[in-house]
Amino acid sequence: MPDVPITDVTQPLISARGISKNFATIEVLRDVDLDLMPGEIHALVGENGAGKSTFAKILAGVHRPSRGTLVLNGVPVEIPDPIVAQRRGITLIHQEPISFPDLSVAENLVLGRTGGGPLDLVPWAQMTRDANRLMDLLGVKIDVTRPMRGLSIADQQMVEIARALASDSRLIIMDEPTAPLTPKEVATLFAIAKRLRDEGRTIVFITHRLEEVRVLCDRVTIFRDGNKIATENIADLSDVDIIRLMIGRPLKEYMHKMGAAIGEIALRVEHLTLPGYFADVSFEVRKGEIVGLGGLVGAGRSDVARALFGVAPAVSGSVVVNGKAVVINEPSQAIALGLSFVPEDRATAGIFRSLAVEQNITAAIPRQIAPGGVIRRALETALATDSVKKLRIRLASLRQPIGELSGGNQQKTILARWMLTNPSVLILDEPTRGIDIGVKAEFYEMIGELAAAGRAILLISSELPELLALCDRVLVMSEGRLTANLSRAEASQESIMHAAVPQSGEKAVAA
Amino acid sequence: MRRVYDFLLQRREAGIFVMIVLFCAVVGLMRPRFLTLDELRIILLLVPLIMIGAMAQMLVIVARHVDLSIGSMLGFSAIVSGMMYRYYPEVPWWTGFFVSVGIGSGLGLINGLLITVFRLPAIIVTLGTLSLYRGLTFIVSNARQIDRQYIPSELKALSQTSPIFGIPWIIFLAFGVALATYLFTMHTRVGRQIYALGSNPVAAPLRGIRVNSVTLMVFTISGALSGLAGILYASRWGFVNPSNTGTGFEFQVIAAVVIGGVSINGGVGTVLGTVLGVLLLGCVSAALPLLGVPGTTQNAIYGAVIIIALLIDRSVRQRGIAALAAQKARA
């Protein structure tokens, strides 16, 4: 049994007081006060990066707050790591549960919980009995002797919930649990969550889906830019109110690109589908046009980009590049067709960390710099020097490993790489994420110049001001489907968010 | 019948067992002498050292590491024990067990410390100590062999007979180590933690597993068992030679472990599978001279056996997954 006293239902189970969190110099959470009551399901909502997940991780001991205190049942507590959190009755269930795939379900349930010395015997029979009892309690049918590997995400979540019950957790935090689930699995999860609430436990439910907040939750807390904006009974707020509270930040002004002439269609996509990721996506991008692709994380935007570039090809639908119907099954074909792609995850998919800047710049044009298979160093250096000058990349030397540059300069290097391929279509996935403001402005300018030079640009961004400032048109995706195609005049924070947030009773429409 | 078939496809151990039976049947048809008790004795005498080394290596690989230095740890602990017998003939014959296992544990601990304290990759650390420990073996022994007359006869007798059907003690010892490893891995908390660590090293500390302690322990056990194999080498062959003793041991052992179905990606592997892997390797070694394959070809054949075993395993497992899916569909 955890060392949690019996809770008084009129007192908060846990109170956060002035919780702040900095990562390096960036403040991601600022002075958050929040009381979580026993027997409630409490929704945390907010845009990507608003701080809701960070707050949840602080409760669960994954992160430690930079400032502030947590009060559990009236007593100030430290929660330095997840094991202490679990002992104090707090369990965080990740969207994709962390498990040991080769161990059995029953072992996953007890691992890290049982006391005793290292050479104590493993009580297999009792472990299996206990695990079966927990599964019965949850009303799910999972063979507890089978390995975790191969269980569906929904079943893995059930195992995690069972683990929370095994340690009799009073606070169970679910971080976007429904994103990977089917509607039927969601219904099961909700039924279980309500039952746990009725037992007097506190459920914290992080989600993007407002209809779920409405069906399931008792209260809702809205985060924006690291601040807690409001905590209200769900009955007192409309969907529109919630969206307004989520986005209500002042619009920053950026210069729109100089009126570039918009030409013929450079990229046309029709009914592109990859089951499980996106369906029936159709749009076009013209020469000289910047088309934004907005939506929430997980809406399928990056998957569309990866499909277009042949990283994970779509299974159906057609793609027309510069008037020619094409099939792209791998990136080299995409490059040959004049497509280029700056991926979202710079560190793992963009840079060759230990290679020199100049090699990173010329990585996409092996034939040009190495006619006959032998690299012409002089040519490579000349091209790289030219790029560095043009894009104002700040570095010590061309021979420097790219890993030593700042994020913004790494990103410029990747852009330089693609410029050398002279692309006609440029797909940018969150190009300014993690880049400081000054470099960001330079980037916006460059993107504008590229469009003015007649290139077609598809810009994926989660930052609404960025989409509004740069784009001629904004497409919005939600849950794998295109839900809006907004002209520059129609696009606003409200219209984009309305299309991005899956809402009650509204059907997704293909634009 | 259907269920038996499904079971065979799903259990890795069953697959290796079938491979052993088929191999023996084919060789037996060509050379009937292969299926006699005498030949079984030869096979069983070939495997004890590999069996002990394979148990150690299994633990290391399950923890998602690898230990390449076991042959050199074997050689070093054997040579030091041998020198003790040469310089101090009056010590009791069993002293060598303590010396050899003790030295092996120390060498394994050094590997473990380098890996955990300095966060170096095990494959590089043990590649380094493979060479380092072998070099030390030459230095301390002055590159001189410990000859037969120095090895106590009681020690050598362990590999010759026992009161139980005349089966040499060394064979019981090897199976005893396997049994102990089984109990350790399947029935102790720390044993299961090795599997958890190998299965998901990122999650392990989040669930309270002391990653460094477990890693250190695994490498120390690897050293200790290599030391045990070292003194048993002296028992089995009656001499210790600084350049031959234990050379290539890591290769045979890793081969047996991999054939036995231990996953190089960690988290997966059973003692039964490893034992069967060792036996399959033993059968192949015993069959080669009977089939007139020259000793010089042996290494090539070993290598081929590993690759063939992996290929068979791969196709069998894919069919196993299909069978499992079919079973689900039927249910």
Convert B52-82 into a string of H (helix), E (strand) and C (coil). HHHHHHHHHHHCCCCCCCHHHHHHHHHHHHH
Q: Which chain A residue lies closest to B203 (C-alpha atoms)?
A: A98
CB contact under 8 A, A118 and B189: yes
Q: Which H/E stretch holds residue A175? A: strand A171-175
- The whole-number pLDDT of residue A2 equals 46
Indicate whether A509 pLDDT > 70.
no
Q: How many CA atoms lie within 13 A of B114 on its CB side?
A: 17
Name the more confident of A504 and B271: B271
User: pLDDT tens, A159-202?
Assistant: 988 988 888 899 999 988 887 777 788 888 999 999 999 999 99
More confident of the two residues A434 and B9: A434
Which one, of B275, B219, B246, lies nearest residue B62 by Cα?
A: B219
pLDDT grade, residue B305 (50/70/90)? confident
| CA A60 centroid distance within chain | 20
* Residue B331 to chain A, least CA–CA distance (Å): 14
With beta carbons under 8 A apart, name residues in chain A contacting B199: 100-103
Phi first, then psi: give them for residue A17, nearest 5 degrees. Answer: -125, 110
Give the CA diameter of chain B: 71
- Which of the four pLDDT bands, split at 50, 70 and 90, describes residue A1? very low
| Residue that has been written with the tokens 């900095």 in this structure | A22
Chain B residues with CB-CB distance to A116 below 8 A: 189
The arithmetic mean of pLDDT across residues B315-331, rounded, is 58
CA dist A434 and A392 (Å) reads 18
Is the pLDDT assigned to residue B9 strictly greater than 60? no
Indicate the residue of B196, B202, B263 with minimum beta-carbon distance to A103: B196
| Rounded distance between C-alpha atoms, residue A453 and residue A261, angstroms | 9
pLDDT in tens, B247-282: 989 988 998 998 888 888 889 899 999 999 999 999
How close does chain A come to B260, measured CA to CA in Å? 17
Which of B98-102, B104-108, B185-189, B307-311 is the least confident region?
B307-311
How distant is the Cα of B138 from the closest Cα of chain A, in angstroms? 38
Contacts of residue B120, defined as CB under 8 A and 6 or more positions apart, other chains included, come to: B114
| Residue B255, token pair as written in the block | 């081969």
Least confident among A178-182, A183-187, B104-108, B190-194:
A178-182
Measured distance CA(A162)–CA(B60) in Å, rounded:
31
| Closest partner CB to B192 (pick from A83, A107, A116) | A107
Mean pLDDT, chain A, as a whole number?
85
Complex-level ipTM: 0.82
Which chain B residues contact residue A107 at CB under 8 A?
192, 196
Of A102, A107, A121, the CB nearest to B188: A121
User: What residues of chain A have any CB closer than 8 angstroms to a CB in chain B?
Assistant: 81-83, 98-103, 107, 111-112, 114, 116-122, 124
pLDDT at A250: 45
List, as one string, the DSSP characters of A182-229: -HHHHHHHHHHHHHHHHTT-EEEEE-S-HHHHHHH-SEEEEEETTEEE
**Whole-number pLDDT of residue A260:** 67
pLDDT, position A422: 84
- Give residue ranges of B with CB < 8 Å to any A CB: 186-193, 195-196, 198-200, 202-204, 206-209, 263, 267-268
Q: Exposed, middle or buried by CB within 10 Å (0-12, 13-18, 19+), for B234?
A: buried
% chain A with pLDDT above 90: 33
Distance in Å, alpha carbon of B161 to nearest chain A alpha carbon: 34
Which residue in the set A102, A117, A119 is minimally distant from B267, CB to CB? A102
User: How far does A117 lie from chain B, in Å, by closest CA?
Assistant: 8
Segment A494-509 shows an average pLDDT of 68
Task: Give the integer Cα–Cα distance in Å for A155 and B162.
Answer: 54
Cβ–Cβ below 8 Å for A121 and B199: no
**pLDDT greater at residue A84 or residue A437:** A84
With bands split at pLDDT 50, 70 and 90, how would you rate the model's confidence at A510?
very low
Report the pLDDT value the prediction gives residue B317, as an integer from 0 to 100. Answer: 62
Beta bridge partners of A473: A291, A487
* CB atoms B188 and A83 under 8 Å: no
The predicted pLDDT at position A251 comes to: 40
Q: Which of A394-398, B18-22, B259-263, B321-325 comes out lowest in average pLDDT?
A: B321-325
DSSP A147: B
Nearest-by-Cβ selection for A99 from B186, B200, B209: B200
Return the higher-pLDDT residue of A357 and B6: A357
Least confident of A231-245, A428-442, B46-60, B131-145: A428-442
- Please, which pLDDT band fits residue A402 given cuts at 50, 70 and 90? confident
pLDDT at A3 over 60: no
CA-CA distance, A90 to B76, in Å (whole number)?
A: 51
Q: Is the confidence at residue B183, as pLDDT, over 90?
A: yes
Scanning every residue of chain A, which has its alpha carbon at the shortest distance from the alpha carbon of B62?
A102
Three-state SS at A163: helix
Residue B62 pLDDT > 70, yes or no? yes
CA angle at B38 for the pair B34 and B43, rounded to the nearest 5°: 70
Say if residue B213's pLDDT is above 90.
yes
Q: What is the pLDDT at residue B331?
A: 47
Tell me if residue A265 falls in helix, strand or coil. Answer: strand
| Alpha carbon of residue A251 to chain centroid | 23
Query: pTM of this prediction?
Result: 0.74
- Is A441 in a helix, a strand, or coil? helix
By three-state DSSP, how is residue A479 classified?
Answer: coil
Cβ distance B189 to A114 less than 8 Å, yes or no, reads: yes
Query: Which of A83, A103, A122 is closest, CB to CB, to B188?
Result: A122
Instruction: Compute the distance between CA of residue A402 and CA of residue A249 in angstroms, rounded to an integer.
Output: 35
Name the pairing type of β-strands A265-274 and A278-286.
Answer: antiparallel
Whether residue A118 has pLDDT greater than 80: no
Q: How far apart are the first and last CA of chain A?
A: 54
**Chain B residues within 8 A of A81 when measuring between CB atoms:** 206
Q: Are strands A41-46 and A219-224 parallel, antiparallel or unpaired?
A: parallel
Q: DSSP readout, B175-206? A: HHHHHHHHHHHHHBHHHHHHHHHHH-TTHHHH
- The chain B residue lying nearest A148, using CA atoms, is B199
Q: Which position has the higher pLDDT, A12 or B303? A: A12
Share of chain B above pLDDT 70, in %: 91
Residues B288-314, mean pLDDT to the nearest whole number: 81
**Closest CA relative to residue B217, chosen from B49, B76, B63:** B63
Mean pLDDT of A129-144: 89
Q: What 8-state DSSP symbol labels residue A60?
A: T
Would you say B306 and B258 are in contact if contact means Cβ atoms under 8 Å apart?
yes
Residue A470, pLDDT > 50, answer: yes
Q: b or e along B147-159 (b: 16 or more beta carbons within 10 Å of the residue's beta carbon)?
A: eeebbbeebbebb
pLDDT of A441 > 90? The answer is no
HEC readout, A318-380: EEEECCEEECCCCHHHHHHCCEEEECCCHHHHHCCCCCEHHHHHCCCCHHHHCHHHCCCHHHH
Q: What is the pLDDT of residue B68?
A: 97
Nearest to A116 among B189, B198, B199 (CB): B189
B302 vs A491: CA distance, rounded Å: 68
- A370, two tokens: 């190495």
Residue A220: pLDDT band by 50, 70, 90 thresholds?
very high
* pLDDT band (50, 70, 90) for residue B321: low
State whether A122 and B189 contact (CB < 8 Å).
yes
Residue A261 has pLDDT above 80, yes or no: no
Calpha distance B121→B128 (Å, rounded): 11
State whether A102 and B199 contact (CB < 8 Å).
yes
pLDDT exceeding 70 applies to what percent of chain A? 91
Place B326 in a pLDDT band, splitting at 50, 70 and 90. Answer: low
Per the prediction, chain B carries an average pLDDT of 89
Q: Are B58 and B271 in contact (CB under 8 A)?
A: yes
Nearest chain A residue to B201, by CA: A100
Facing residue for B209 by CB, picked from A101, A112, A114 = A112
Cα–Cα dist B203/B207, whole Å:
7
Name the residue with higher pLDDT: B149 or A345: B149
What pLDDT, on the 0 to 100 scale, is given for residue B156? 93
Sign of CA dihedral B66, B69, B71, B77: negative
Query: For B207, which residue in chain A has the nearest alpha carbon?
Result: A112
